[in-house]
Amino acid sequence: MEATPSFELPKDCEKLATKFILDTLLEPKVIEEPVIEASPVPEAIAAEPLPPIADESDPLPVPLEPLGLPAGKKYFRVREVAELTGVEPYVLRYWESEFSTVRPTKSRTGQRVYSRRDVEELHLIRHLLHVEKYSIKGAKKKLQERRQNRAGAADQLLRQRQQQMLKELQGQLKELLQIIRGNPGLHAG
């Protein structure tokens, strides 16, 4: 008989450590603009930063008040999130079960640990439910619409960048053709 290798699932603390390491490794590489893999981007286009994606197609009727997360802090315990958002911890736990976009990890001691993105998402959920008076179902729908609008805006921005790059490339090719046509000895063959 062959001995099967033993397989052990990672412990909760190992999951959190892995998440922290991955977040730390990925943090400096936050991509705010779409990456074009086809060819190198001309320097004129690459140097120009992308404007932030505004969700102007679906603005919130009541402006979202600033959250005021501490700078440099990546992870928050449930009590801290409750204080920041002004919601009781049991409500946060309920929202976790209702909104799939909020997925805290658990620490070695079994406490929930929320990422900055989770806290920002909970802040938006609180705004939709308590300020704009959406139902849970309505808030889910609104969040889905906002994600789709942002994805559509990013796609549109990428298309605009690609068109700009293609026009620039077309101009460069026309210049090369003029140079070649102007010097008939260059392309003898």
Q: Model pTM greater than 0.85? A: no
CATH number of the structural domain 63-133: 1.10.1660.10
45-to-151, 160, 162 alpha-carbon distances in Å: 21, 11, 10
Q: Tell me the backbone φ, ψ of residue 104, rounded to 5 degrees.
A: -70, 155
Q: What is the pLDDT of residues 40-64, one digit of tens each?
A: 544 544 444 444 444 444 556 667 7
Element (H, E) at 115: strand 112-115
Q: How far apart are CA 89 and CA 83, in angstroms?
A: 9
For residue 147, pLDDT over 70 is answered with yes
pLDDT tens track for 4-21: 656 666 666 566 666 666
Token pair recorded at residue 53: 């994606």
Question: How far apart are the C-alpha atoms of 147 and 66, rounded to whole Å?
Answer: 20
Whether residue 88 contacts residue 132, with contact meaning beta carbons closer than 8 Å, is answered with no
CB 46 within 8 A of CB 165: no
Number of Cβ within 10 Å of residue 58's Cβ equals 11
Domain positions in the chain are: 63-133, 138-182
The pLDDT, as a whole number, for residue 37 is: 46
Rounded mean pLDDT of 71-91? Answer: 92
